[in-house]
Amino acid sequence: MIRTKPFSVKYYRGVMYNQHSHFPSRAEFLTMASVSEYWQSFTPPIFALAPMENVTDTVFRRIVRQCGSPHVFFTEFTRVEQVAAYPRRGLPWRMRFREEEERPLVVQIWGTNPELYHRSAAIIADLGYDGVDINMGCPVLKIRNKGSCSGLIVNPSLAAEIVQATREGARSGGQGIPVSVKTRIGYDRPATEDWIGFLLQQQIDLLTVHGRTAYQESEGPVAYDEIARAVRLRDAVAPRTRILANGDIRSVVDGMRVISLTGADGVMIGRGIFADPFLFSHLNGRARNYNDLSADEKIGLMRRHILLHQDSWAGERNYDVLKRFYKIYLVGFDGAAELRERLNQTADYSSALREIEHFERTGSHAEQRNCTEQARRSGSTVVR
Ligand SMILES: Cc1cc2nc3c(=O)[nH]c(=O)nc-3n(C[C@H](O)[C@H](O)[C@H](O)COP(=O)(O)O)c2cc1C
């Protein structure tokens, strides 16, 4: 059971807040000071694309960058066992990226072994990523039951050890990189004062708060008032830790509303990108909406995704992970559902590309395109 003592009490689940504090040497402090400037150097509001397994890989990040870029990307979550095995077992494929197009890029890691976190963070820093993020939020039952991810919410002593090991590793590699945590407001009930208060004592540079408990998974309303509470705690105990609000934010306008509601420095957006890959284009002067694209433009974007996927993953990742994206691209034009249906039956890249070509030649949107073209040439308006 989560105890809901006031924040002034220095215990969370029997662990004293400062038990794991680390007092840096002068040399360490100098590095730390510059590293901790990193997130401070972002001017709020910060908009991040959320880490999403089998979605936010190097390919989709490049697509999103092309459509309208967030301020920062995160990789899909990667096990510390896999990261720590670098270079012996090669670079985990979830960490792969194409240099400048995907920056700033933060690698998200998960697991339970502090030593492996230390090693992983040093490797991630050595490889020149822009940060390392610890997953303390994934609610999947078989993961949290093993004590990983949101399972750490009920094991604060291990959580603190992991943060400390990651901080030390992150500062020992390369130029040193900042450490962030992504978590929820509690395990079986909101415990913001205790859990987030505890985390804020662990000297993290950035904290993303999903306004649901682990038990809620993706169900029920997001408690933005609890995120606001987390921000107030931050102001009191860790003013240099940036906070991103997360949960059910679907657009830039929505994000700005949540920022003013909670006082957070920014937001992290996940599933909103499924409804509109151009979502982040509203952050700059070149705003577009996916709905306003022509059928040809939508199909063109999807084709680029398929070709990049083939180029990046053929023979390494299952072709079927692409099918999730067909639902994203194939909406809002004549024949979209039919093409989606046909693509869902395909088993490889070349049959998908053949289906698309066939559709472009014969599909109802091709008829419509020809009709519009004819009308344009004859100077008349198409009446449908
Ligand atoms: C398909 C999918 C995969 C996800 N994978 C991860 C992950 O690897 N790491 C993580 O921290 N969260 C992951 N999440 C959670 C999201 O990052 C985000 O916290 C959640 O979707 C709530 O935000 P949203 O309402 O904006 O989608 C995933 C969510 C989805 C839908």
The answer to whether position 383 is within a domain reads: no
The reply to whether 62 and 86 lie within a common domain is: yes
The reply to whether 232 and 215 lie within a common domain is: yes
Note the pLDDT of residue 174. Answer: 86
Q: Are 70 and 64 in contact (CB under 8 A)?
A: yes
Note the pLDDT of residue 248. Answer: 98
The answer to whether position 186 is within a domain reads: yes
How many Å lie between the centroid of ligand 1 and the Cα of residue 56?
10
- pLDDT tens digit sequence for 31-41: 555 677 889 88
C-beta of 182 in contact with ligand 1 (< 6 A): yes
The reply to whether 223 and 325 lie within a common domain is: no
Note the pLDDT of residue 367. Answer: 59
The reply to whether 229 and 352 lie within a common domain is: no
The reply to whether 274 and 308 lie within a common domain is: no
The reply to whether 199 and 297 lie within a common domain is: no
> What's the structural domain count of the chain?
2
The reply to whether 319 and 283 lie within a common domain is: no
Domain span at 30:
11-287
Which one is catalytic: 67, 138, 149, 371? 138
C-beta of 51 in contact with ligand 1 (< 6 A): yes
Annotated catalytic, 138?
yes
Q: In this structure, which residue's CA is closest to atom 6 in ligand 1? A: 52
Partners of residue 242 on adjacent β-strands: 206
Note the pLDDT of residue 286. Answer: 83
pTM, to two decimals: 0.89
The answer to whether position 1 is within a domain reads: no
Instruction: Mark which of 258, 287, 316 sits at the end of a domain.
Output: 287
The answer to whether position 384 is within a domain reads: no
The reply to whether 17 and 118 lie within a common domain is: yes
- Residue 354 structure tokens: 């053949």
How many Å lie between the centroid of ligand 1 and the Cα of residue 218?
9
The reply to whether 280 and 234 lie within a common domain is: yes
C-beta of 245 in contact with ligand 1 (< 6 A): no
> What are the residue ranges in the chain where pLDDT is below 70?
1-34, 364-384
Q: In this structure, which residue's CA is closest to atom 2 in ligand 1? A: 52
- pLDDT tens digit sequence for 149-158: 999 999 999 9
The reply to whether 264 and 348 lie within a common domain is: no
What is the DSSP secondary structure assignment for residue 193, as one 8-state letter?
Answer: I
Cα–Cα dist 186/179, whole Å: 21
Q: In this structure, which residue's CA is closest to atom 30 in ligand 1? A: 52
C-beta of 205 in contact with ligand 1 (< 6 A): no
C-beta of 77 in contact with ligand 1 (< 6 A): yes
The reply to whether 239 and 297 lie within a common domain is: no
Cβ neighbours for 379, distance < 8 A, ≥ 6 positions apart: none
The reply to whether 197 and 137 lie within a common domain is: yes
- Residue 305 structure tokens: 């995704």
